[in-house]
Amino acid sequence: MVVYWHNDVLAVGAMHVTRAAAFPIAAEISVEAYDDIASSVHLAPPLTTTRFSSKEMGRQVATMLFQAIEQVEGFEPHTVEIPVKLVTRESTGPPPQIK
> How many of the other CB atoms lie within 10 Å of CB of 25?
21
Q: Which pLDDT score is estimated for 14?
A: 92
Strand order in the sheet with 48-52: 2-4, 30-34, 48-52, 84-87
Beta strands at 48-52 and 84-87: parallel, antiparallel or unpaired: antiparallel
Model confidence pLDDT, tens digit, residues 5-54? 999 999 999 999 998 999 899 988 999 999 999 999 999 999 999 999 98
Q: Is the dihedral of CA 58, 60, 62, 65 positive or negative?
A: negative
Beta strands at 2-4 and 84-87: parallel, antiparallel or unpaired: unpaired
In the predicted model, is pLDDT for residue 2 greater than 90?
A: no
Write down all domains in the chain, each with its CATH number in brackets. Answer: 2-87 (3.40.50.2300)
Q: Which pLDDT score is estimated for 8?
A: 94
Give the SS3 label for residue 20.
helix
Q: pTM here?
A: 0.78
Residue burial 57-78, b: 16+ Cβ < 10 Å; e: rest? eeeeeeeeeeeeeeeeeeeeee
